[in-house]
């Protein structure tokens, strides 16, 4: 078959590659211009191209999985509200509806139809996290979504090229950083426009008038490739449950995974009901993180699109924390959502008889610090002259140990964020970070050790209290090991003076105090006594574990000079084997 | 008589030499001798002195580039290094960005730091973000550290303190104390190596400098001695990754600035050609055996940046290496070369690279045991390479072996005939390069259309025209001596030095202090001048100043060229205007009402270059005579068709070769597609231009 044949696999691949390049370019444009920390440092954004029915054909690989198919689903909602045939050239649509977008009000989703020679040929969508959306600000404390900020239903951002000034005025009037937020709205519109432009160039170059044949090829190939991988796993039902801290009471995350010939179905029946606070998850976001977890193990190399996503189907009972309905508060939905890959790994562990990581810290341990009048509790006179600042930096505990490899220390998973340099935060605020180092013995012991968490000590140069918006989990329920591996060390939030803080909610760090954040380590994998003693001794030498832990958890006696006391070790390990 | 100038470029496989003497040019290519690279250099010297007829005493200047520092980091063969940091931050260089650069790979590994945890030490001391001392340096703790470092046999010490880019006094005092107790040990201070905000990247750079310093120092010492023994008395300059030359003592102090010197030489060659030919928008395209490098050159200047990653854990994947903040010529490098291997993945997609067959076993057609099809094999099947005249005839290629490999790995799995499969491999690798170029352009806010491509490196002239078509580029220039392009570029580089300072300045009306900025630049100028004057005592100096600026609240800066002269109160508005112009050029719009802030300031000082000889105008076309013809794949007809074959040596200035044609030479082969015509220009380059249909 020749390459010019419309069905030539090479030609179709060239076009597919180009389509992925187009959405990567779209995402890059957004990342370069976005204002919120999570957009630019964490790649908390998404960009994709869709056919006229709303099926996603290609999506950029960005920093967080939270938008994987939530954005894909969003386009169907837009097409329901604004049928394709009513869309005009120059129209741009938007929403921040948590249930029809990507899970909380901070995320805006933009959809732009692409017209070529007067005919609509595709849609581009993009999502990013804006720096503020009014209301209580980013945090888990709201009791209803109304408190969480401004809510923009599915509507036009621009009609035939003309931006709705009334809308941008309303947004500007309702948020704390109007210039940046409205700037981000324009970034979203621009990145879609770049996508449209590149798509038209591509269609000209390859001389195609529609994406029908290419779209069909992409969706079928991706679906088949995903199914092929799924069919290698023994069919059956696999149940797993994991309990996490929640805001005010523990949450059970319960899943049944059914693996069969037509794909993987996950039901979250049995999961706890909605929370009174903003850690609830709209089902679109549940789908995103759960399917990401499945995909990591089952088909990591198949690109994201309607074809590959259609074989991983996620449901959660209405009214559960994983399918919270309006008007439940949802701002910090990532705290719960980021736990779902661990639950999926738990199911797949049974199906695959191994092959998955142990549980990790999983939810981010961000430093979200706020200063200025009215931000902290106590006598308002103390803060009336305090410096106004908002600091947001992404931080992570340890990941679970992997088959054949230790977990990653102080590294985000499932989110893919980057931190903000301490020197940068100290330049733009009075915050001082006194310490940020690995937390010894926090990685769960195992043949493969869990990743270490870290300890951060935070104070301020200002003569005033400041507040933190906490949304930390794994304080009461540390990440568990698998196959005989031990749990990672639980997280802890406290003041230097010893007072323990809550894991969730806005709290005050009094004047002159330091905040100490101890992040959880990942769970271990396999029996720690099988870990080669040389590796255990090396961990002691590097200070990743203490010699006490080496002896207690690994059965290895390490001398003061870092060498192994082999006779003593043999004794210790023999006792353990009995 | 005029003195000769010699360039020596040590690469992974070959050491290239290029000598220019009284208008005559000679080149040599010898195998690199990794254990003692100076041996390969001396072999090459002997060869090139012989062919050129020059004596060691005829040499007036030697310019040297080497991948030695890079290799020491990649192979982890640097010095035993300790890192001394502010107490509480012992793990920063290992914690890095806390992110995963490969989203779906649960088995991902981060690059291990150059200094293991047991050799990282915290010292009580602390500055705040304005440079005020919060905790004075604990000198006793530093003194107590010395015996520990000695006991460990430490050869190099990197020192990195918080906010030391504002004031390096604690770092300097620490060095003073330790140096007294540890004679012979080398020290790298973060405030000197890379005085920029962002602790992880600054310390990573300082640690890398410390790590390679003893290795480079010993090598440069040995080379210097070997040259002296040979009777060479001329100065030796080192090529830096930023495209400028450094004198020996600067190179020894900051060896980390030498890491990417080879590719920088290629970019300088392209920039120099751009100036000679009056090309204001150029894309340089360097494709060798393993990688392709693409660099954008505007108004005769390559893009500069201070972000580089070395030793990527996942080949070519951004974020998977160790970050270095050093002056570099900005380019994108991808795993696409003649040796890149093609295979079909689980989605029936053809993947090409980044794995490369390298020199051993090499492509299947080399007949040295390679069985996997490479880009070169595809080119052989398609008739683009003459099996009997590859590398000047030194390697005989087997079309059959190439064909069998292509069939097995690509043709059969996809149900494609041999020619279609081979053409597919070639198209995919070109598409990969095109996509990398597009992303690079977006990141820099540049357009690709209407540029002239300057293509060099063994594999580039084969794929250049097709890549150009994909990028909407209608002109491709292939310089003479493309095979040793980087070394040629070395001879065109100026002595230069770049200084950076992080000073946070808000451009609000009440906050901008011109005196502060003028004082800062005066210090930077003095520092740069000392270095450049040492290398070029009598040269006139050219100064370029830039600032990294951003809107308040953003996390990425864009670099803006600053006007010459002192700043005044009126400069504030001008700076904002320059920023907004740059921002609009990059992102298509500005954001009214938002404050602008500056994070970094740089000053680049270079010895003025002699003016370039402008290329004479192209004379009238002269018809050229083909040596013969051979069948080459024609994409339009999807079959082999006879195409005229020319030899570059037969062409004279003005010779015109209409496409389709092949122009062969010892080191490479140029493919002129049907839609192009090639001409030999007065400067000896081939110029391929799209013929309007």
3-state secondary structure B96-125: CCCCCCCCCCCCCCCCCCCCCHHHEEEECC
Which residues are CB-contacts of B68 (< 8 A; sequence separation ≥ 6)?
A: B10, B37, B212, B215, B216, B219, B258
- Does residue A424 belong to the interface with chain B, where contact is any CB pair within 8 Å? yes
**pLDDT of B145 above 60:** yes
CATH for B4-73+217-258, among 3.90.930.12, 3.40.50.10490, 3.60.10.10, 3.30.420.40? 3.30.420.40
Which three-class secondary structure state does DSSP give residue B160? Answer: strand
- Does residue B151 belong to the interface with chain A, where contact is any CB pair within 8 Å? no
- Mark which residues 287-316 of B lie under 8 Å from A by CB: none
Q: Do domains B4-73+217-258 and B496-607 have the same CATH topology?
A: no
Lowest-pLDDT range of A274-288, B605-619, B645-659: B605-619
Q: Which residues of A touch B199 (CB under 8 A)?
A: 421-423
Given this model, what pLDDT does residue A67 score?
A: 81
Given this model, what pLDDT does residue B414 score?
A: 92
User: Which helix (H) or strand (E) covers residue A296, if one does?
Assistant: helix A283-298
Closest-CA distance, B72 to chain A, in angstroms, reads: 23
For chain B, the average pLDDT equals 91
Asked if A259 and A369 count as a contact pair (C-beta separation under 8 A), the reply is: no
Burial status of residue B616 (CB atoms within 10 A of its CB: 0-12, 13-18, 19 or more): exposed
Q: What is the per-residue pLDDT across B9-19, written as a single tens digit (0 to 9) for each?
A: 987 677 889 99
Q: Which residues of B touch A25 (CB under 8 A)?
A: 438-439, 442
Lowest-pLDDT range of A246-255, A312-321, B404-413, B502-511: B502-511
Interface with chain B: mutation pick from A1, A6, A9, highest number of B CBs within 10 Å: A9
**Distance between CA A127 and CA A184 in Å, rounded?**
10
Which percentage of chain B shows pLDDT scores above 70? Answer: 98
Q: In the beta sheet, which residues pair with residue B145?
A: none
Given this model, what pLDDT does residue B68 score?
A: 84
**pLDDT of A391 above 90:** no
pLDDT band at residue B395, thresholds of 50, 70 and 90? confident
Whether A190 and B198 lie within 8 Å, measured CB to CB: no
Tell me what the mean pLDDT of segment B547-556 comes to: 82
pLDDT higher for A63 or B203? Answer: B203
- Does residue A236 belong to the interface with chain B, where contact is any CB pair within 8 Å? no
DSSP state of A145: G
Lowest-pLDDT range of A133-147, B44-58, B435-449, B663-677: B435-449
Q: In Å, what is the CA distance from B350 to each residue of A276, A424, A471, B658? A: 51, 44, 45, 32
Closest-CA distance, B190 to chain A, in angstroms, reads: 14
- Does residue B345 belong to the interface with chain A, where contact is any CB pair within 8 Å? yes
Which percentage of chain B shows pLDDT scores above 90? Answer: 67
- Does residue B197 belong to the interface with chain A, where contact is any CB pair within 8 Å? yes
**Distance between CA B319 and CA B314 in Å, rounded?**
9
Lowest-pLDDT range of B76-85, B435-444, B478-487, B522-531: B478-487
Ranked by mean pLDDT, the top range of A388-397, A538-547, B259-268, B322-331 is A538-547
Tokens 């107490």 belong to residue: B87
Closest-CA distance, A83 to chain B, in angstroms, reads: 30
Closest-CA distance, B171 to chain A, in angstroms, reads: 16
**pLDDT of A1 above 60:** no
Residue whose C-alpha is closest to residue B338's, from B396, B392, B385: B385
Q: Which of A61, A357, A427 sits opposite B129 (nearest CB)?
A: A427
Q: Which residues of B touch A361 (CB under 8 A)?
A: none
* Residue A528 CA from chain centroid, whole number: 30
- Does residue A422 belong to the interface with chain B, where contact is any CB pair within 8 Å? yes
Size of interface A-B (CB pairs under 8 A): 208
Question: Rounded to 5 degrees, what are φ and ψ at A101?
Answer: -110, -120
Given this model, what pLDDT does residue B291 score?
A: 85
- Does residue B613 belong to the interface with chain A, where contact is any CB pair within 8 Å? no
- Does residue A117 belong to the interface with chain B, where contact is any CB pair within 8 Å? no
Asked if A489 and A442 count as a contact pair (C-beta separation under 8 A), the reply is: yes
Q: In the beta sheet, which residues pair with residue A467?
A: A370, A508
Given this model, what pLDDT does residue A578 score?
A: 58
Tokens 């928008």 belong to residue: B281
- Does residue B318 belong to the interface with chain A, where contact is any CB pair within 8 Å? no
Whether B347 and A302 lie within 8 Å, measured CB to CB: yes
Whether A297 and B106 lie within 8 Å, measured CB to CB: yes
Q: Which residues of B touch A349 (CB under 8 A)?
A: none
- Number of Cβ within a 10 Å radius of residue B47: 16
Whether A432 and B128 lie within 8 Å, measured CB to CB: yes
Given this model, what pLDDT does residue A66 score?
A: 80
pLDDT band at residue B29, thresholds of 50, 70 and 90? confident
Lowest-pLDDT range of A91-95, A178-182, A455-459, A526-530: A178-182
Burial status of residue B623 (CB atoms within 10 A of its CB: 0-12, 13-18, 19 or more): exposed
- Mark which residues 83-122 of B lie under 8 Å from A by CB: 87-92, 94-95, 97-100, 103-110, 116-118
Given this model, what pLDDT does residue A515 score?
A: 98
Q: Which two three-digit tokens encode residue A159?
A: 């009609």
Tell me what the mean pLDDT of segment B667-687 comes to: 93
Using CA atoms in the order B265, B269, B272, B274, what is the torsion angle rounded to 10 degrees? -130
Q: In chain B, which residue's Cα lies nearest the Cα of A414?
A: B103
* Residue A434 CA from chain centroid, whole number: 28
Whether A2 and B638 lie within 8 Å, measured CB to CB: yes
DSSP characters for B384-406?
Answer: -S-TTSBGGGTB---HHHHHHHH
Q: Which two three-digit tokens encode residue A399?
A: 């990941």
pLDDT band at residue A56, thresholds of 50, 70 and 90? very high
Q: Which two three-digit tokens encode residue B574?
A: 């001008």
**pLDDT of A577 above 70:** no
Q: In the beta sheet, which residues pair with residue B603?
A: B499, B545
Whether A396 and B98 lie within 8 Å, measured CB to CB: yes
- Mark which residues 407-466 of B lie under 8 Å from A by CB: 414-417, 420, 423-424, 427-428, 431-432, 435, 438-439, 442-443
Whether B555 and A40 lie within 8 Å, measured CB to CB: yes
**Distance between CA A337 and CA A343 in Å, rounded?**
10
Whether B199 and A402 lie within 8 Å, measured CB to CB: no
Q: In Å, what is the CA distance from B296 to each residue of A201, A204, A354, B437? A: 21, 25, 49, 9
**Distance between CA A484 and CA B406 in Å, rounded?**
48
Q: Where are the domains of chain B?
A: 4-73+217-258, 77-206, 340-428, 496-607
Which three-class secondary structure state does DSSP give residue A33? Answer: helix
Which residues are CB-contacts of A167 (< 8 A; sequence separation ≥ 6)?
A: A152, A155, A157
**pLDDT of B317 above 80:** no
Tokens 């040990």 belong to residue: B185
Tell me the torsion sign for CA atoms A279, A281, A286, A292: negative
Given this model, what pLDDT does residue B316 score?
A: 67
Burial status of residue A560 (CB atoms within 10 A of its CB: 0-12, 13-18, 19 or more): exposed
Q: Which of B95, B108, B198 sits opposite A423 (nearest CB)?
A: B198
Q: In chain B, which residue's Cα lies nearest the Cα of A202?
A: B470
Full-prediction pTM beyond 0.90?
yes
Beta strands in A377-531 (DSSP E): 389-393, 431-438, 454-460, 466-471, 492-495, 504-509, 515-518
- Please give the angle made by the CA atoms of B403, B406 and B410, to the nearest 5 degrees: 150
Given this model, what pLDDT does residue B210 score?
A: 98
**Distance between CA A106 and CA A285 in Å, rounded?**
13
Q: Which of A9, A17, A411 sits opposite B414 (nearest CB)?
A: A9
**pLDDT of A63 above 70:** no
Given this model, what pLDDT does residue A374 score?
A: 85
Given this model, what pLDDT does residue A78 score?
A: 98
DSSP state of B382: T
Closest-CA distance, A330 to chain B, in angstroms, reads: 25
Which three-class secondary structure state does DSSP give residue B54? Answer: coil
Given this model, what pLDDT does residue A9 score?
A: 85
CATH number of B496-607: 3.30.1490
Q: What is the per-residue pLDDT across A126-176, written as a single tens digit (0 to 9) for each?
A: 999 998 999 998 899 999 999 999 999 999 999 999 999 999 999 999 998
Given this model, what pLDDT does residue B231 score?
A: 93
- Does residue A519 belong to the interface with chain B, where contact is any CB pair within 8 Å? no
Whether B428 and A14 lie within 8 Å, measured CB to CB: yes
Given this model, what pLDDT does residue B11 score?
A: 78
Burial status of residue B278 (CB atoms within 10 A of its CB: 0-12, 13-18, 19 or more): exposed
**Distance between CA A331 and CA A140 in Å, rounded?**
6
Q: What is the per-residue pLDDT across A334-368, written as a single tens digit (0 to 9) for each?
A: 999 999 999 999 999 999 999 999 999 999 999 99
Q: What is the per-residue pLDDT across A23-47, written as a single tens digit (0 to 9) for each?
A: 999 998 888 777 776 676 667 789 9
- Number of Cβ within a 10 Å radius of residue B451: 26
H helices of B458-557, where?
Answer: 460-470, 485-490, 514-535
- Does residue B133 belong to the interface with chain A, where contact is any CB pair within 8 Å? no
**pLDDT of B289 above 90:** no
- Does residue B167 belong to the interface with chain A, where contact is any CB pair within 8 Å? no
Interface with chain A: mutation pick from B87, B94, B95, highest number of A CBs within 10 Å: B95
Whether B594 and A190 lie within 8 Å, measured CB to CB: no
DSSP characters for B583-605?
Answer: HHHHHS---TT--EEEEEEEEEE
**pLDDT of B587 above 80:** no
Which residues are CB-contacts of B393 (< 8 A; sequence separation ≥ 6)?
A: none
Q: Which of A8, A228, A419 sits opposite B97 (nearest CB)?
A: A419
Q: Which of A33, A356, A413 sits opposite B587 (nearest CB)?
A: A33
**pLDDT of B313 above 60:** yes
């Amino acid at each position: 078959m020749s390459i010019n044949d419309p069905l030539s696999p090479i030609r179709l691949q060239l076009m597919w590659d180009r389509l992925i390049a187009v959405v990567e370019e779209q995402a890059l444009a957004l990342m370069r211009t976005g204002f919120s920390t999570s957009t630019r440092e964490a790649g908390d954004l998404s960009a994709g191209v869709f056919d006229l029915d709303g099926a996603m054909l290609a999506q950029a690989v960005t920093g967080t999985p939270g938008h994987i198919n939530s954005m894909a689903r969003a386009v169907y909602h837009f097409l329901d509200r604004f049928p394709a045939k009513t869309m005009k050239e120059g129209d741009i649509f938007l929403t921040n509806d948590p249930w029809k977008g990507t899970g909380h009000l901070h995320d805006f989703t933009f959809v732009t139809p692409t017209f070529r020679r007067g005919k609509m040929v595709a849609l581009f969508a993009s999502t990013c996290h804006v720096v503020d959306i009014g209301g209580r600000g980013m945090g888990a404390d709201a009791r209803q979504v109304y408190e969480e900020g401004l809510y923009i239903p599915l509507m036009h951002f621009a009609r035939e090229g003309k931006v709705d000034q009334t809308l941008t005025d309303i947004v500007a009037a309702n948020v704390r950083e109007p210039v940046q937020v409205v700037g981000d709205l324009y970034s979203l519109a621009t990145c879609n426009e770049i996508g449209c432009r590149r798509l038209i160039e591509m269609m000209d170059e390859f001389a195609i008038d529609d994406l029908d044949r290419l779209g069909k090829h992409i969706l079928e190939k991706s679906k088949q490739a995903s199914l092929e991988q799924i069919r290698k796993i023994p069919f059956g039902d696999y149940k797993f449950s994991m309990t996490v801290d929640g805001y005010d009471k523990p949450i059970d995350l319960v899943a049944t995974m059914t693996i069969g010939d037509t794909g993987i179905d996950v039901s979250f029946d049995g999961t706890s009901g909605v929370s009174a606070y903003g850690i609830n998850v709209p089902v679109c976001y549940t789908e995103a993180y759960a399917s990401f977890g499945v995909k990591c193990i089952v088909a990591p190399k198949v690109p994201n699109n309607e074809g590959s996503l259609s074989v991983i189907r996620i449901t959660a009972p209405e009214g559960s924390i994983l399918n919270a309905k309006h008007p439940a508060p949802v701002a910090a939905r990532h705290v719960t959502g980021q736990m779902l890959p661990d639950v999926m790994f738990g199911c797949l562990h049974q199906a695959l008889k191994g092959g998955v990581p142990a549980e990790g810290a999983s939810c981010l341990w961000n430093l979200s610090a706020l200063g200025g009048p009215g931000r902290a509790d106590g006598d308002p006179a103390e803060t009336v002259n305090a410096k106004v600042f908002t600091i947001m930096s992404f931080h992570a505990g340890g990941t679970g140990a992997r088959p054949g490899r230790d977990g990653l220390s102080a590294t985000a998973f499932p989110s893919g964020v980057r931190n903000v340099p301490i020197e940068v935060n100290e330049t733009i605020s009075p915050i001082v970070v006194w310490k940020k180092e690995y937390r010894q013995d926090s990685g769960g012991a195992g043949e493969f050790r869990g990743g270490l968490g870290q300890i951060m000590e935070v104070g301020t140069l200002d003569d005033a209290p400041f507040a933190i918006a906490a949304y930390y989990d794994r304080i009461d329920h540390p990440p568990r090991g698998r196959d005989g591996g031990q749990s990672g060390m639980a997280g802890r939030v406290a003041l230097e003076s010893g007072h323990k803080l809550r894991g969730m909610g806005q709290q005050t760090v009094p004047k002159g105090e330091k905040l100490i954040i101890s992040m959880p380590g990942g769970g271990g994998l396999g029996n720690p006594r099988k870990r080669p003693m040389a590796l255990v001794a090396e961990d002691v030498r590097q200070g990743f574990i203490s010699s006490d832990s080496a002896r207690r958890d690994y059965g290895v006696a390490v001398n003061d000079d870092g060498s192994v006391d082999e006779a003593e070790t043999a004794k210790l390990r023999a006792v353990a084997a009995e | 008589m005029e003195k000769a100038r010699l360039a020596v470029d040590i690469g992974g496989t070959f050491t290239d030499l290029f000598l220019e003497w009284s208008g005559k040019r000679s080149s040599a290519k010898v195998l690199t001798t990794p254990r003692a690279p100076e041996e390969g250099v001396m072999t090459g010297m002997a060869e090139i002195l012989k062919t050129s007829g020059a004596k060691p005493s005829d040499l007036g200047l030697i310019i040297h580039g080497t991948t030695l520092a890079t290799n020491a980091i990649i192979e982890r063969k640097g010095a035993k290094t300790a890192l001394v940091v502010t107490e509480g931050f012992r793990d920063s260089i290992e914690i890095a960005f806390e992110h995963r650069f490969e989203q779906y790979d649960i088995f991902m590994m981060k690059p291990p730091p150059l200094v293991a945890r047991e050799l990282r030490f915290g010292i009580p001391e602390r500055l705040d973000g304005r440079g005020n001392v919060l905790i004075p340096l604990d000198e006793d703790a530093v003194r107590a550290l010395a015996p520990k470092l000695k006991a460990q046999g430490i050869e190099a010490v990197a020192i990195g303190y918080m906010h030391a880019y504002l004031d390096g006094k604690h770092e300097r005092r620490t060095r003073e104390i330790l140096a007294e107790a540890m004679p012979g040990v080398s020290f790298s201070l973060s405030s000197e190596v890379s005085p920029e905000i962002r602790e992880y990247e600054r310390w990573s750079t300082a640690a890398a400098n410390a790590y390679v310093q003893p290795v480079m120092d010993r090598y440069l010492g040995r080379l210097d001695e070997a040259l002296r023994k040979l009777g060479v008395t001329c100065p030796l300059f080192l090529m830096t990754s930023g495209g400028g030359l450094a004198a020996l003592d600067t190179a020894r102090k900051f060896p980390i600035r030498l890491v990417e010197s080879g590719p920088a030489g290629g970019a300088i060659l392209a920039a120099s050609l751009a100036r000679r030919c009056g090309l204001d928008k150029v894309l340089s395209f360097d494709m060798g055996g393993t990688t392709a490098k693409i660099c954008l050159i505007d108004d005769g200047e390559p893009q500069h940046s201070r972000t580089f990653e070395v030793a990527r854990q996942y080949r070519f994947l951004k974020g998977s290496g160790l970050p270095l903040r050093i002056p570099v010529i900005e380019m994108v490098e991808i795993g696409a070369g003649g040796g890149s291997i093609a295979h079909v993945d689980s989605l029936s997609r053809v993947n090409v690279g980044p794995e490369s067959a390298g020199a051993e076993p090499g492509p299947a057609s080399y007949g040295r045991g390679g069985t996997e099809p490479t880009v070169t094999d595809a080119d052989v099947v398609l008739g683009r390479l003459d099996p009997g005249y590859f590398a000047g005839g030194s390697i005989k290629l087997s079309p059959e072996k190439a064909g069998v490999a292509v069939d097995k790995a690509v043709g059969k799995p996809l149900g494609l005939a041999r020619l279609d499969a081979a053409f597919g491999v070639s198209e995919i690798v070109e598409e990969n390069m095109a996509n990398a170029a597009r992303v690079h352009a977006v990141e820099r806010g540049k357009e690709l259309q209407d540029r002239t491509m300057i293509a060099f490196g063994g594999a580039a002239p084969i794929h250049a025209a097709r890549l150009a078509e994909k990028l909407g580029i209608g002109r491709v220039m292939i310089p003479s001596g493309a095979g040793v392009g980087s070394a040629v570029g070395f001879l065109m580089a100026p002595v230069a030095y770049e200084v950076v300072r992080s000073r946070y300045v808000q451009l609000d009306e009440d906050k901008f202090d011109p005196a502060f900025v003028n004082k800062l630049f005066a210090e930077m100028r003095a520092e740069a001048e000392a270095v450049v004057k040492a290398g070029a005592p009598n040269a006139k100096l050219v100064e370029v100043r830039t600032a990294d600026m951003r809107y308040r609240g953003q996390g990425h800066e864009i670099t803006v060229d600053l006007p010459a002269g002192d700043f005044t109160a009126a400069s504030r508005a001008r700076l904002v205007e320059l920023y907004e112009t740059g921002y609009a050029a990059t992102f298509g719009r500005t954001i009214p009402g938002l404050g602008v802030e500056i994070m970094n300031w740089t000053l680049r000082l270079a010895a003025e270059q002699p003016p370039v000889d402008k290329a004479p105008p192209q004379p009238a076309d002269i018809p050229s005579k083909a040596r013969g013809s051979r069948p080459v794949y024609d994409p339009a007809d999807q079959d082999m068709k006879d195409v005229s074959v020319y030899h570059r040596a037969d062409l004279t200035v003005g010779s015109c070769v209409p496409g389709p044609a092949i122009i062969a030479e010892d080191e490479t082969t140029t493919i002129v597609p049907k839609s192009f015509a090639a001409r030999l220009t007065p400067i000896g380059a081939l110029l391929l231009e799209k013929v309007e249909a």
